[in-house]
Structure formats: structure tokens, C-alpha cells
Amino acid sequence: MADNNTRNYLVGVDLGGTKILAGVFDSKLQPVGATKFSTKAQRGPDAVLERVARCVSDAIDECDLDVKQISAVGIGAPGAVDPEHGEVIFAPNLGWKDIAVVKSLEKRLDIPVFLENDCHICMLGIYEQELKSKPKNVVGIFIGTGIGGGLIIDGEPFTGANHTAGELGHMVIDVNGPKCNCGNKGCFEVFASRLAIFRAIQSAIKNGDKSELTQMLGEDLKDLRSGDIRKAIRRGDKVVEKIVEEAAEYTGIAVANLVNLLNPEVVVLGGGVIEALGDEMMPAITKSAKSHIMPGLFKNVEIIASKLGDNAGITGAAVLARDKTR
């Protein structure tokens, strides 16, 4: 039964370009309940932050708790953030620049709020909840619309000199490859993100390749999701299977580059694409990584898919809230 005299609970928020997820956790980081809102970024930062606050309040209420029982809220936001000042500096897929997230949410919620970059937050959640903080060095690769990363070095989250470490999606792996949104050519993200996979499928269909997906969604592949791709592969769609396998091979090369450089105990893959297509992609990722990691450097490296899925963000945000208040 909920103890309503002390602030024993934490809320973790995952603020994304399309949805807001708020999860309530007890002091042992066990999930109590969660609420999901759509982000509606087009309404502007103030409206989005109002939605975040409401999502948090609703989640607390759904768990039969009172806001007075929440010790802190952690929030992961996409893009460049300044955790010290509680600001999102630049978040292209929210259309945000210099937004005082913490100040705004603390005013609305009257609870301490702590902000971090969403990839660092996911890494934190996976490290604590899934890996039980055991390995000392971990590389997290999060594949969704884009690709981001998180690092654990010597048992601590590593964010670099200006808090921007982990941008592994823009690691150039093919100098002469296709152009990336960032301006470079042949970034990892160009080959393996959800957008990259979608683009390759659309272009294959345009070139006359036959795919289950057109039967499922129509010629223009309206509302294509990663889950549809999984379904198509399971129905024997060789065109889609090959495209996903290629994305997995590129991912393996990125994994190898990171293992050669950082010699971690664990490489963990997460994000929407891995959640939907992990079973399809992981064997090819591991195979490609193994064949690209330097001889002798593969021993003791585990390459795994996170099981936390969508909950990595809210879990990590709750870990942040706990760490900042204990």
C-alpha cells in the first residue's frame, strides 16, 4: 500500500519528438505505472511543457499517489541539453532552442526536476536496471528515427567536456557514402536508422521490387512503422529482409569501431528499431561486429539488445531523479 507521508516515489519522463512518457517508480526503482501523451511539438515549447507537467500529474494520479509523495522528477530530452542550468540548448526534432525546461516544470509541478540528454538517460536506465551496474565500461547504441549513443566509463556515465559525448550516429563509416542531414557523407545513421531503412525500402519499391508492405499499407507505404517491417520479414519478404540485414551489417561495423576504440565489457543496443527488429537484426549485427573487431579484441565483449525497450528512458530518468536527490 502506498505510504503517503513521505516522498518515497520518483517520476521519470521521456520527452520525444512524437510522444511523452511519464513513469512512476518506487524508491527501489520498481515501476508502479506510466502514462503516455502525444508531444504535439507543433504547438510550441510552452504547450509541450504544459503537456509534460500534465502527463506527470496524470501518471501520479493513476498510481493512486499524491504529488507530495514524489521526491523528484527526471526528464530526458532529445538534442543538446545543459543539465546544470536545466535547459534544452538545441533540439531539432522538437524545434526547440534555449528552452528553460527545469524552471518551467518546477513551477508547474512544485517538485525538483532534473534534465539530461535522452541517450545518456537511456544508458543510465539500462546500466542500472538491466546490467545491475556490474560492467565497468559499456557502450549504448540507440537506433530510432536517428542514432544516438551513451557511454559508461569506469562505472560512471561519461558525457565529455561539454556534455556532448556519445554522438556515435554521426561516426563516418563510408567517406564516399550518401549524404547525412548533418552535412557529412556516410555517417552510421545514414545506413541504419529507421529513416535510412524506410528510405531504402521506398526506393526498392519505386524501382519495382515486390514487397509485402505494399499489400499491407498501399503503394505509398503510408504510416509505415518498424513493426510493419518485422511483420513483412516474418511473412517472407526477401526485399525488406535484405535491407534490414544490410542495416544490421553497418551497425556491426559501428559496433566494431567502438569495441576497438573503447574495449567495453558490454555493447547494448536499444531504441525503437531494435525493440521492433531486434530478433531480426541482432544475429547479423553480432556477426558483422565479430568479423570487424580486431583479432583478439573480441574476447569478453557481450553484444546484447536491451530488454527495457520503451521503458529505458523513463527508468533512466527515474535513476537520474534518485541520484540527484539522495
Please identify, among the stretches 8-16, 101-109, 255-263, 308-316, the one whose residues bind a second copy according to the rule CB under 8 A. Answer: 255-263
Can you say whether residue 162 is alpha, beta or left, with left for phi > 0 and alpha for psi between -120 and 50 degrees? alpha
Give the rounded distance of the alpha carbon of 129 from its chain centre. Answer: 15
Position 292 contacts a second copy (CB under 8 A): yes
Residues 6+ apart with CB under 8 A from 227: 276
Position 98 contacts a second copy (CB under 8 A): no
Position 260 contacts a second copy (CB under 8 A): yes
CB of 171 to a second copy, least distance (A): 5
Residue with cell 569501431: 257
Set of cell numbers at residue 229:
517491417
Which C-beta is closer to a second copy: that of 2 or that of 297? 297
From residue 149 to residue 188, what is the string marking binding to a second copy with x (rule CB under 8 A)?
A: x---xx-x-xxxxxxxxxxx-xxxxxxxx----xxx-x--
| Beta strand pairing call for 156-158 and 113-117 | unpaired
Angle between helices 194-206 and 238-262 in degrees, nearest 10: 150
Set of cell numbers at residue 239:
526485399
Report the alpha-carbon distance of residue 277 to residue 196 in Å, rounded. 14
Confirm if 267 and 141 have CB atoms less than 8 A apart: yes
Position 208 contacts a second copy (CB under 8 A): no
Position 253 contacts a second copy (CB under 8 A): yes
Q: C-alpha distances in angstroms, 86 versus 75, 76, 102? A: 10, 11, 5
Position 300 contacts a second copy (CB under 8 A): yes
CB of 23 to a second copy, least distance (A): 29
Report the alpha-carbon distance of residue 182 to residue 174 in Å, rounded. 14
Q: Which of 15, 20, 53, 80 binds a second copy (CB under 8 A)?
A: 80
From residue 214 to residue 233, what is the string marking binding to a second copy with x (rule CB under 8 A)?
A: --------------------
From residue 131 to residue 150, what is the string marking binding to a second copy with x (rule CB under 8 A)?
A: ----xxx-----------x-
Task: Kindly list the residues in this chain that would bind a second copy in the complex (CB under 8 A).
Answer: 80, 90, 135-137, 149, 153-154, 156, 158-168, 170-177, 182-184, 186, 250, 253, 256-258, 260-265, 291-292, 294-297, 299-301
